[in-house]
Structures are given as structure tokens and as C-alpha cells.
Chain A
Amino acid sequence: MQAEFRPPRRRPRVQEEYEAPLPVVRCPEEKCELRADLINQHVLICNPEHIQKIHNQGYFGKGVLSRARPDHNLSYQWEQYEGVFLPVVSQSRYEELLVWAGAALSTQGSNEQTVSQMLHQLSQPVEMEDVLREMGWEGDTQTEKTAPERRVSEMKPEARRGCSLETQKVNPNYDPDPDQDSDSRPDLEREFNSDADPDPDSLVLGPGFFMVVPDNEDSGGVREVRPAPYSLSEYLQLSLEEAFFLVYSLGCLSVFLHQEPLSLVELWGKFCSLRPDFISSYAAYHHFRSRGWVPKGGGAVKYGSDLMLYRKGPPFYHASYSVIIERVNGAFAGSALRPFSWRSLAALSRITTNVSKELMLCYIIYPADLSEPDLDSPECLSRLKVQEVIVSRWISSRERAELDEF
């Protein structure tokens, strides 16, 4: 007898627009070639446009500085001032940012005096014309250094470079591995300095500038526009399964390692070496995506499982299923990835019920004639089978029986 399907629960307040289920083209004019980099054993997407596309169409990945979607901002309050939207920060916060920029600069080797000098020059209030000119109001791109503004703009690329180091440290996955370091840092800088095409509608953002407001209303300070000590850009981190799915099933992403693109077999091999049970977890991920659901892996740690399944995406519905992935061989037995005792199963079932989700065991069945060399290629996926089993508690007491629900 089959388990009943319970419709997913909508979230009460939905603020997002649904763009598309998957990042593929709908009309022939669009092109869809996205780029990711394999840095320090993590897959990162650095290009902001690609980030937006990949995240908004299918909810892949997680912003490294954010909870879910990559929406890190140095300020959460914006204000319009003379035709430009500027982020608003308080004086104390601005000073804090200056201190951070100073720390970044001093790690580059500049001595204290130079650092404080640069900071002092950096934090002078600017006039709005300068702001507009800097932003390319006349059509210049941001990276061009206009001569009169050299003072400001000179600071900024350095600060940015400093900041790219900063973000490297801020990145919690920073791995002090000497080999990887030397390769990855220059790449990042190059990525950083070769900006994406400027958004023609960048009037909305005043990215290099802040509106600094005094902390208290009556402390006598004045609101002024100052340049930002550094600009922070956020990456999107993809899990290994998400990255492989985008490359293999949709063909829209390419993963680069040391600036070289990887072929599918190479990527498969690399991922399999990074994670021992990558094949099982990828098979489950692929299956759920091919049914149109959105599996997310990171949040599942909260509930003790491997994946959470969302319908349409996390902003719209609460997760419906909490999935544990298991592998079995052709005789439906075999060593479990996560051996259960009744105690642990009972605990997991209890947790899952308390958060109103359903516990699903997803068994990946490896047929007996699948040999080791077959597993070296993603073609082995078509030989695997998936069995979903829902685990639930049955209450024997009368009230339950009357509901006639099993």
C-alpha cells in the first residue's frame, strides 16, 4: 500500500517572484553559459550575474555571507539622495569599516603611517557630482579611472584588492593549504578586477559610496556622503551535487579548475574523490530534481537528515520531506551509510514529526552487475534505481483508528 501524499504547506508571507524552475533558456536568443570555479575543494560562482541567474532559477547554492540567498549588503537601509540610491550607515559603523579596511591594507605590507594616511584621504566627504561621475553617469564604466577623481578611485582598486584578500579570509571555508593558496588568490584578483558588464540601470545602486549618518539625532553631526572603504562582493557556493547537476543534466555550467575547464568524466572523478559516497548522494539529488522538486542539502543538518525537499523553492513552501539517503546492493541489503538502531530511528522520526515534515528513506539500488570501472563514469547513473520509503509512526489508540487515516 502506498503512502499518502500530503500537499506541501505554503509559507504565510511570500515576498519573492518565481522566475523559472531551472536555469535553461526559454527562447532562442538567450544564451546560457555560466561559469564556476573549483577553489579549495569548493565550487564557487563569482560572477554576480551568474549568481543571480543560478540562484533565482532553481534555488541552487548558498551565498557565502548570507543565510540562503546571496544578498549580503553592507547596509540594509537605503535612501535616495539627489537621484541616487545610497546605502545608509551610521557613523560608528562607518568607522568600524574604516578600521577593517585599515587592517586589510596593513596586511599588504604598508606601514602604519601610510595606512592611516590613505584612510584619511579615503574617508573625506565627497560632493554628489563626484559621486555621479564616479558611477559612470556619462557612460563610463566603473573601472576607468577618471583623472580628477584619481584620489578616490585610486584608493578603491587597492582597497578592493585588499578586500579580496579580506573576503578570502572571511570565507569560512578558507583552507590554509599552501598549494591551493598560491593558485587561487591571483585568480580571484583577476576575477575581481575584470568586472562584469556594468548594469545600465546602476543608478539604483551607489556602490562606491555611503550615506553616513550620525549615531544620534542631536549629536550635532551632519549627514554626508563618503566613499566606501571597500566594496564587498559575495560568492555563491554550490554543493558538489548541485554543481554536477548543472553541468551534466542541463549543460549550462562549466567548472574551471586552475582556469582549465573540466570535462564531465574528469569532474565526476574529482567529485568522487572529494566525497566517498558522492555517487549515492548525487543519484538521489538527480532523481529529486528530475521530479521537479528542489532538494537542499545544507539545512538538513538541522533535522538530522541528508536533504530537505522543497516544492518550487525554499521561499515559497516549507520543506515537505526530510530525506535520508541509503545505498543497497542488488539483493537489497548491504552495509548502510548510516546504520540505524530503533532508538535513533525513533529519535529522527520524532524530530521530523515535530517540525511537520515527513521522513523519507531514499534507497539507491546498485545492481549486481555494476562493476567498479563502471562507476568511474556518470553513465552508471542510468543503471541505478531509486526506492522511496516513508517512515511514520502508527498510533494504536482509538482516536487514531477513528480518523481512518493510516
Chain B
Amino acid sequence: MADQNKTDTAGKLYNEILSPSELFAARSRSHKIPVRGQKDFFPNDSDEQRQRLEQSLNEHWSLVSEERVERLGNLVKGIWIPSDQIVELQSPAGKFWQTMGFSANAKQCLLPEEALYLMECGNLQVFYRDLPLSIQDGYERFLSSKTISLQQYQVFGHLKRLGYVVNRFNPSSEPSPYMRQLNLPQSRDSAGRQLKRKRSTSPTLSSSHTKARESHTERMEEDECSHEGEKKSTQASPETPGVSTATTRSADEGKGRNWWMTDVLPEPGHRSDHSLSSGSSRWDFRSIVFPDLGSREQLSSCLASPDPSLLPEALAVGACDFALWRQRINLRKVNMSSKDWKREEDKLRRGWDVNKDEEVRRCRNWTEYMELMSRREAKRKGRPAHLWNREVTPLHDPREPISTGELLEKISVIKPTNLLEGASRLKGGDEWRICFNVYQADTVADFKKSNPGKPYARMCVCSFDGPVPDLRAIKLLTFQSGDIPVVFAVVDYGDISFYTFKDFQLPLDVFP
């Protein structure tokens, strides 16, 4: 019966369904994988070498050009929907459903990279306009800048073939540091909803800009950096509905939170929303001075009235007598142990300026200053003058016996820092982005798509010809990832190497 199909037309119409003899031939194909022999050091033009190379190439070629034979029943049918950039399944999904795919509109769907991977595995057949797509078609259609790039797909495929579970990374579904601080339980979103949200706010800058800042276009060029910070917070707020009220506040509140970030000056663009500013539209907070009522220095107990430009209109404030208030402030001196005082002194000493010196300030004329200097000289007797009588003195006096631990602490002038410090104010760009979450291979059995848990690692894909991440990129990605390590997958035309850049603090090593 099947044989008749074969001799159908003269024009070599290729039928996909095989005759029994062909099937048998396909089954009994040799499954030998070409072995890579020992490498020679350099090419000589000998026949033997050429022969070996040719044979090896032929083996590889025949392997690559092999046609795949699959049972029709094993193939899941899907339809490619370009408008949504997903594949909708027509027949029930197989075992892969455990770790891949999502549900949308009561249908099972796959992301394009998952679909392409399954096609290559021989589990899926995707139709477009009623015609099955070939692998080449798949590569061409499914991988684009709107979905994922070829390099990212190569990494995806590599990891999947090793058994890992790989999902797309969605920055907005990660808990923000504030949420992590509050230890909030996360809502479980299936990939579909994530995808939907991802589609609605494309990751490029312009769309979120236009959404949130239409009314402030004229201020945009100056306020670039704060707007980037804004984009993050505005993205976070509408897109995590299940999270508590802390983050679902309006964009205004998001702006409010920005004000408490230490390094960002509140921008005039925001301020003009509120009806506070009267005349000037630019506020320089560094020039607005609040009196320190708690300082130990003697202030006059009367404050002059503040600058009217700082106040709302129709408000007049007179001078203020705060002597009564002052009594209520705890003005006791801090009780520090002698060690603490010494530490304060050392801190002072390092930022040494002759005018900051208390004793020098108390000298009222040159005679007193000279006396002070000679007193100090007497104290420093014996120590080499070229080191100790100048502007900068050594950190430690070698005559003082001291234990090693204390000495090390004394000379620890340079402070170590960690990757997360200062990372919150870095804005993201297009060049360094986390693409995937990777889950361990042996957790496949209990993997639940609705509750995947914490990933084993996060992948950032880059090209071998591209730049190496600088500290800025490393800090940014570490901040985005939280406590999950970030792995850089470097793709060199199909060869993938993985590198990690991890935070480290050299431990203190004290020998007595």
C-alpha cells in the first residue's frame, strides 16, 4: 500500500510517509557518531592526512544530512502565529509539557525558542498556512530581534540538551530589593501572563517613556537618568498585581520613593507636578540649609524667617524662638569608650588639615602656635623628623608594640566594597541583559511551571567578539539577579563557554 505511494508521479514528488523498506533502512542506520581522532600538530601536504580529513568530513556531512524519521503519532502539531510570536498546539502536548510551554486562551502554547528546540528534537511539527515548516524555516522565522537572537537560542539549546530547564527571564517578576527586605511571598505567574505583559510593554525605552512621560517631553533631555530609574519603578508597579500595596502604588509614589535614593537629585520635572514651587522651577537642595538645632555649638536661640521663595504663596513666617524646644532635645555628649575616642581621633587624623586641628585653632597668635609645635616636637622625640613632622605621617609608629590584628586594623585605610553597593542607581541598557533562568537538571521531576522556585543560575548571553563586562555591567546584572549567580555565556560561532564573575571578600588572615 505504501509502496504504491512512492511511484506516484514522475516529477519526483517527495512523499513524507515512508515505505516499509525505507522505514527498515532508516531503523537500521548505523548510529555511530564520528570519532574525533588524535589531532596532528600541523598540516603537511601528505596524502594520508588529506584522506583522513576527507573521511572525517564525509562522516560529518552524512550525519548532518541524515533525514530524521519519526512516528507520525509522536509528532505534536502546532501552528505558528506570527502576530503573537508563539506556537499554538493543535494536539495534546507530550512529556515536554512538564517544563516547557504555557497556557493561553485555553490553548497550549509554546515560545518560539521552545518550539524550535522541539522541532530539532523531532517532537513537534509546526504548520504555517497549512504547510509544515522545515528546520531552516524555523530558524528563519522564530528567531528574530523580537523574540530571541540566534546566539541566545544556541545557548538555550545547549543547556536544554544537557537537561537543564530554561525559562525566559522577566525582570519585572523579580522581587525588588524592598520586597525582598520585607520578605514578601511572591505571586505565581505562569509564563503566559508574563509573556502577555512582556508583549504589552516592549523592552525598548521609547514606549515606556511615552507612556509615562508624555507631558514632560521638553524636560526629557535633562532628566535622562532619573527617567531611567523611573522606568524601572513604573514597570514594576503595574506589572505585579499580586504583590502587596507597597509596590502597586501609583507612579507618583514611585517618584516619591526616588527622592529617598541618596545619589539622585530630585528633578524639577517631578516637582512641577506638585503645586509647591512658587517662583523658581529649579531647586538646588544643596543650597537650602536647615539649621541644626541639635548641635552643641551655641546657636542664637532665634531663627530668622525662611526665604519666601521656599514657601508656598500666601504663607508668611516670622522669626522663631526655639529656646524652649532646645531644652527638650537631648544634648548630652555621647559616651564613647576610650577606644572609640581613639578611633575618632584616627579618623580625624587621616583627613588631616592644619586648620582642622583643634589645638591649632585655639592658638590665638604665632607665639602660641610655635609653643604648640615645640610641645609636639618634644612628644615626637626620637622619631625621624622627615616622617613625623610633615603634613602626612605614617599610619603606625614602629616603636609602639602592637598585636598583629590591631595593626592590620590600623592600616586598613582602604575600604572593601561589595557588588551590590551603589548598584541600585545604575541604569540598565541594552547591551547587558539577563536572558534566561536556568534550573537544575535533577529537579525536573518536581519542577512545576507555576512555581518554579529559585533558579540555579541566570544566563547573560554575549558574543565572543564583543566586549568583556566591566564592573558596571557586573554590578548591574548582580543587582537585577538578586542572590542568584549570573553566568555569562560567551558564544563563538556555536562554541559556548561559560564564565562567572563573583563577588568576593578576601578573608582576614592573622598570624600571631
Chain A residues within 8 Å of B, Cβ to Cβ = 1-3, 5, 18, 21-22, 24-28, 31-33, 247-252, 254, 261-265, 268, 283, 286-293, 309, 311-312, 321, 326, 328, 331-334, 336, 340-343, 345-346, 349, 360-361, 363, 365, 377-379, 381-382, 384-398, 401-402, 406
B396 at the A interface (CB under 8 A): yes
B442 at the A interface (CB under 8 A): yes
- Note all chain B residues with C-beta closer than 8 A to A345: 468, 499
When C-beta atoms are compared, the residue in chain B nearest to A340 turns out to be B468
Q: How far is the CB of A387 from chain B (nearest CB, A)?
A: 5
When C-beta atoms are compared, the residue in chain B nearest to A345 turns out to be B468
A396 touches B386 (CB 8 A): no
- Note all chain B residues with C-beta closer than 8 A to A361: 501
Rank and list the top 4 A-B pairs by shortest CB-CB distance, nearest first.
A251-B394, A292-B509, A3-B502, A394-B498
Bound Cα distance from A263 to B130, whole angstroms: 85
Q: Which of B50-58, B202-210, B410-418 contacts A (4 or more CB under 8 A)?
A: B410-418
- Note all chain A residues with C-beta closer than 8 A to B408: 290-292
Q: How far is the CB of B483 from chain A (nearest CB, A)?
A: 6
A377 touches B391 (CB 8 A): yes
A293 touches B506 (CB 8 A): yes
Bound Cα distance from A391 to B490, whole angstroms: 14
A336 touches B398 (CB 8 A): no
- Note all chain A residues with C-beta closer than 8 A to B462: 342
B440 touches A401 (CB 8 A): yes
Chain B residues within 8 Å of A, Cβ to Cβ = 158-159, 162-164, 350-352, 383-384, 386-387, 390-402, 404, 407-408, 411-419, 422, 426, 440-442, 457, 462, 464-468, 470-472, 474-475, 483-485, 487, 490, 492, 496-511
- Note all chain B residues with C-beta closer than 8 A to A386: 414-417
B474 touches A251 (CB 8 A): no
A401 touches B414 (CB 8 A): no
A252 touches B391 (CB 8 A): no
Supposing A342-B466, A342-B468 touch, asked if A248 and B502 sit within 8 A by C-beta, the answer is no
B497 touches A2 (CB 8 A): no
A398 touches B387 (CB 8 A): no
Which single member of A332, A360, A390, A402 contacts B471 (CB below 8 Å)? Answer: A332
A365 touches B504 (CB 8 A): no
B471 touches A27 (CB 8 A): no
Bound Cα distance from A311 to B440, whole angstroms: 35
Supposing A293-B509, A333-B471, A336-B470 touch, asked if A262 and B500 sit within 8 A by C-beta, the answer is no
- Note all chain B residues with C-beta closer than 8 A to A268: 392
A22 touches B404 (CB 8 A): yes
B499 touches A25 (CB 8 A): no
Q: How far is the CB of B153 from chain A (nearest CB, A)?
A: 16
B392 touches A377 (CB 8 A): yes
Which single member of A1, A32, A292, A392 contacts B398 (CB below 8 Å)? Answer: A32
Which single member of A1, A3, A311, A402 contacts B483 (CB below 8 Å)? Answer: A1
- Note all chain B residues with C-beta closer than 8 A to A25: 398-401
Bound Cα distance from A252 to B402, whole angstroms: 14
* A283-B414, A312-B511, A388-B505 given; 13 more Cβ-contact pairs under 8 Å: A2-B505, A249-B396, A251-B395, A290-B412, A292-B404, A342-B466, A342-B490, A382-B351, A387-B419, A387-B503, A397-B162, A406-B485, A406-B500
Question: Most chain-B CB neighbours within 10 Å: which of A251, A312, A381?
Answer: A251
Supposing A264-B393, A342-B490, A345-B499 touch, asked if A292 and B511 sit within 8 A by C-beta, the answer is yes
Supposing A290-B413, A292-B509 touch, asked if A396 and B502 sit within 8 A by C-beta, the answer is no
Which single member of A247, A385, A394 contacts B414 (CB below 8 Å)? Answer: A385
A381 touches B414 (CB 8 A): yes
B416 touches A248 (CB 8 A): no
Bound Cα distance from A393 to B496, whole angstroms: 11
- Note all chain A residues with C-beta closer than 8 A to B159: 396
- Note all chain B residues with C-beta closer than 8 A to A406: 457, 485, 500
Q: How far is the CB of B457 from chain A (nearest CB, A)?
A: 7
- Note all chain B residues with C-beta closer than 8 A to A343: 464
Q: How far is the CB of B103 from chain A (nearest CB, A)?
A: 29
B402 touches A24 (CB 8 A): yes
When C-beta atoms are compared, the residue in chain B nearest to A389 turns out to be B501
Bound Cα distance from A30 to B6, whole angstroms: 102
